[in-house]
A and B are shown apart, each in its own frame.
Chain A
Amino acid sequence: MIRITNRMMYNNTLVNAFRNNQGLLAAQEQISSGKRINRPSDDPAGMMEVLEFRSSIGKSERYVRVMDNAESFLNTADSTIGSVHDQLKSAKEQALSQVGGMATAETRKTAATLIDTMIEQMISTGNTRVGSRYIFAGQRSELPAIDSNGNYIGSGKDLRAEITNDVVIPISVRASEFLSADMNPAVSTSTTIASLNGGAGAPAGSFNITDRSGTTGAVTINLGDTIANVILAVAAAGTNITASVSSDGTALVLTDSTSSPLAPITVQSNTTSQGLGIDGTRNLSVFTGDALDPDIVSATLIADLYAGDGVTLNDVVLMNGGASSTVSFTGDTTVGDMITSINTIGGAMTDTVTAAIDSTGRKLTITSGNANTVAFAGEAGSGNTAEMLGVGGGRNVIPILQKFSAALKANDNNGIWAALGLLDTNMETVNSVRGSIGARANQVINIRSSETEAALNNTKLKSFIEDADYIEAASELAMLQTAYQATLKSSAAIVQTSLLNFL
């Protein structure tokens, strides 16, 4: 026989009542907060999953925002380039009407005025802005892409954005792709310091560098030095620092081999070190300097052009005053060599053609020796050498229009003929640039819809884990309430009865 005492019955009542209340409290909390997980201990694994989902959803939403911005850039680019194409069409119509018998010097002069206006418009198109940013200037988007002479002065790097995980795409196109070429030379060991910083160069001089062990040495740069000389000068300073060219060919890199560092790398700041882009203090073992932006000089290697992609050397046709000659660049290694090749052939023509580096140091120009004719250049075959040098058609829309206007003013029929042919190549290039922008816009649209869908899916999955099932919680609550009432009622009945009632 088991003894049952009064205290056992009292305790039992209390324990059961409390247990019921605990359940009621939990159900109530779920209903009022709407969540099944109200603290990490409610479901630790679930909580971690919820956090992961939240991050993913946040990321997707952010990418969608970036893509909205990217799309506005791409759309603007698309429509402005469309207007360039339309303008080229009317330029071509002018060319057709002014070539041949019906035109006179007077009509041509009038046409030239129209073309000049067109050039102004092209320049302003090239300087289109979205917000405060010049969208065709590459990464130097705070300054115009095209100068008042119609030359490209923007950056050689595209404006880019990350539109989804690890996918970084250009969100615009540089004006150097469709208005005026930019030969964009990469920095290599043979680049001269005089050509750096857009031709401003880096002045000769001396500056101190201190490595991370605290050793200081002097680096001396002389006039006429190349990057190779700079690298040797840094090595000669006797510290643990060595210089090299960055992998993307834009800047100098200082690497410190000190194993137990005591202090940051310090490069004394003066015009020489600033010109080389390496002045400053950094507590890192590898120090990448500022972009060096070299201009083209005659010593520039052909292989360094177009950020190190180089230019394929196909034959180019020179056209001046009705005569034409073919130039071959076989064996040429520097820009200077190419200029010489052109001048050799061009100099032998009836109306001479002379090539030179233009005033911006970004491309070549060709000039006619005869004041009444305009020199043009085109591709001899299916290559694009003339275009890439800045003297041919294709992407050189503004230079071609400028030459067209000059030919009209000079009443040079041969020139107008040449321009007519080259305008076609301009339109082709503009079309293809427009096509690539369209393709990018499509990519953005596709990725945007998949990110939106991913966000939606993740939200569903997150809610599945995190949210309370109202129906379930409510019925749980009702059930517990019933149980609670039953407990209280039965306890009341049992606890009150004792022998004393009957004595």
Chain B
Amino acid sequence: MNTAKTALLTHQMALEVTGQNIANVNNPNYSRQELLLESSFPIQPSGAPGLIGTGVRATTIIRRFDQFLESQRTLNKSNTQYWDSRQDFLSRLEVVYNESRENGLNRLFDDFYLSFQDLAFNPNGLTERTNVEAQGRNVSIMFNKLSKDITNLRIDLNTKIASSVDEVNRITDEISKLNEKIHEVEIDNVTANDFRDKRESLIRDLSAFAEVSVVEDSSKQVMVSLKNGRTLVIGQTAFKLSTKVRSDDAPAVDIMWADASGATTSITSEIENGSLGSWIEMRDTEFLGYKDKLDILAGTFIRDVNNLHSAGYGLNGGTGQDFFTANTIKTTNGKDNTGTGAISSGSIVDPENVSLHKYEITVTASGSTFDVKDLTTGTTTTGVSYTNATNIPYFQSLGINVQISAGAAVGDKFTAQAGADAALNIKVDSAISSDLNKIAAGLTTDNGDGDNALKLSQLQNDLKMNKTSPSDASGTATFSEYYNSLVGQVGVAGKAAISMFNQQEMINFELDNRREQVSGVSLDEEMVNLIRFQYAYQASAKMIGIIDEMLQTLIGLGR
């Protein structure tokens, strides 16, 4: 009787497990469960010819699960999200640089040069002068728009970065709570199947943001950390993340990690892979790079057009007139500076030959020396000397007057860039817009002299970009070629992102299938199980019925 009873109860349990599997057939995070059966310990009653079995026993409910597959999937999630985020933002950047319609900056450059060519032919003509000013304005507006669009994309990236911090905190918090639950449940040698499923899916959600490494210790709790070892969850503690605005690049935020005492450190550069890693990379390196290149193009364009234009004469004999509003300089104090020294706002004193590169100063001895890195070319010059509150000779030779005041600490950083935001600010000089006669078409005061306009139109073919130093005779690219190569770079990056993303998705698909093979629920299989356990249950019930009849017979005998 007992045997039958164990059979009944066990098969009832088996049916429940099957029921659980069927209920979760569409749950993507669920690993199918199986009841392991084992025969109960046999006994040897006296007079029996051998051991007699006592029925069936359920030992454990196991979870069909492949840990190796799971870690592959986690890593792949990071990769996929990385390329997905890249692909998304690069396709938005492509819209900005889309030259496939014929109304982009490329075309406007051509029209600008053409307007000067027409002016060279008829320097006196009002129509030609109006056109020159209009084309100058068109080029400026397009530059302004391109710069704003890139900045807006950076702001969007920043918003995404900032808002993901809350989500990450929520996930790490839940993981730590699950750690606690799993630890408690599994002390009794029982596997907390559903909790583990949940914890796995949370880890995967986290890896969508950044690549993480996961280690489970003997207490069944996981330690989750970033690729470089920065711990996010250990045992039941989740380290909270927060954001802090950068003083030198507002509104961009740094991601801050708080340790047990509450002290915060910036971990922005420690986040790799995943969508967060991708956004940070795009915001701080790539898109900033595109904006900087656009600024260098605009700044050089402004400088070279002005150099030619100011050497010529307008219709009323005036000279020395800039065509575009001259470049301005931007300086910033480093956001992590500890000293009191600050960099002055600076001025451009040699607009003819000013260097438009971005420079980063790192103080090595306060009031005496610093290292300077040319962020545009990547070269560093060490041991440059300077005196507090005095124009720095190194920068003077680059055409810039700038000073650092007393009190700078060793390691403090400053940046200076002539022509910063040149693309955002480029604009036809107001003197020209209000008096077209000031457009300097000639090299002499003869009104029929169009030689200066001719030179300006010939800028089209001059190799003005990529000069090693501004006073070089020529560089390696014209303005249009430089811009075209920017478009090409964006295109190449976009194409790579799309193809990598597609590839990752394929890998994803394969890994998902493999997981399904191991852990997925097949309704057909469960149906078969259902039938099988049902029959066993029915058979056992029948057994009980028969034994009951037998007992009845026995009891009937005693009357």
Contact = CB atoms under 8 A, between A and B. Distances in A.
B492 A44 contact: yes
Nearest to B97: A40
A7 B349 CA distance: 70
A52 B481 CA distance: 8
A142 B90 contact: no
A394 interface: no
A44 B454 contact: no
Interface string A277-293: 00011111101101100
A100 B7 CA distance: 154
Q: Which of the listed residues B125, B320, B353 has the most CB atoms from chain A within 10 Å of its own CB?
A: B320
Q: Which of the listed residues B497, B523, B531 has the most CB atoms from chain A within 10 Å of its own CB?
A: B523
A262 interface: yes
A197 B398 CA distance: 40
A284 B306 CA distance: 10
Interface stretch (B216-224, B290-298, B332-340, B455-463): B455-463
B257 to A, nearest CB: 36
A39 B320 contact: no
Contact of A41 (B110, B449, B495, B521): B495
Given A6-B25, A62-B117, A55 B310 contact: no
A161 B447 contact: no
A44 B488 contact: yes
B124 A41 contact: no
A7 B445 contact: no
Interface string B339-351: 0000000000111
B307 interface: yes
A172 to B, nearest CB: 11
A48 B483 CA distance: 10
A332 B273 CA distance: 87
B114 A251 contact: no
Contacts of B299: none
Interface stretch (A133-141, A373-381, A409-417, A421-429): A133-141
A54 interface: yes
Interface residues of B, number: 84
A148 interface: no
Nearest to A282: B320
A250 B444 CA distance: 9
Interface string A469-503: 00000000000000000000000000000111001
A52 B482 CA distance: 11
Contact of B114 (A45, A58, A160): A58
Given A6-B25, A499-B523, A37 B517 contact: no
Contacts of B517: 2-5, 8
A178 B290 CA distance: 59
Interface string A157-172: 1011110011010000
B15 to A, nearest CB: 16
Interface in A46-99: 47-48, 50-52, 54-55, 58-59, 62, 66, 69
A40 B490 contact: yes
Given A168-B454, A281-B320, A55 B487 contact: no
B446 A284 contact: no
A2 B517 CA distance: 7
A261 interface: yes
Contact of A55 (B120, B451, B480, B523): B480
Interface string A13-36: 001000000000000000000010
Contacts of A250: 444
Interface string A253-266: 00000011111100
Interface in B439-472: 442-451, 454, 457-458, 460-461
A66 B121 contact: yes
A11 interface: yes
B311 interface: yes
B485 interface: yes
A101 interface: no
B98 A3 contact: no
Contact of A261 (B99, B349, B458): B349
A155 interface: yes
A132 interface: yes
Interface in B197-236: none
Interface stretch (B100-108, B171-179, B359-367): B100-108
Given A2-B517, A51-B99, A59-B460, A260 B349 contact: yes
Nearest to B351: A283
A155 B450 CA distance: 13
Interface string B105-133: 01100100010010011101100000000
B401 interface: yes
Contacts of B497: 41
A50 B104 CA distance: 13
Contacts of B487: 40, 44, 47-48, 51
B19 interface: no
Interface in A229-269: 250-251, 259-264
B350 A261 contact: yes
B447 A142 contact: yes
Contacts of A62: 114, 117
B311 A6 contact: no
Q: Closest 3 A-B residue pairs measured CB to CB?
A: A40-B491, A44-B491, A141-B448
12 contacts: A6-B523, A11-B512, A35-B100, A39-B491, A41-B492, A44-B490, A47-B487, A58-B110, A168-B454, A260-B396, A282-B311, A283-B310
Interface of B: 25-26, 28, 90-91, 94-95, 97-100, 102, 106-107, 110, 114, 117, 120-122, 124-125, 307, 310-311, 313, 317-320, 349-353, 393, 396-397, 399, 401, 442-451, 454, 457-458, 460-461, 480, 484-485, 487-495, 497-498, 509, 512-513, 516-518, 520-525, 527-528, 531
Given A3-B525, A11-B512, 8 more contacts: A7-B521, A41-B494, A47-B488, A62-B117, A157-B446, A161-B120, A280-B320, A283-B350
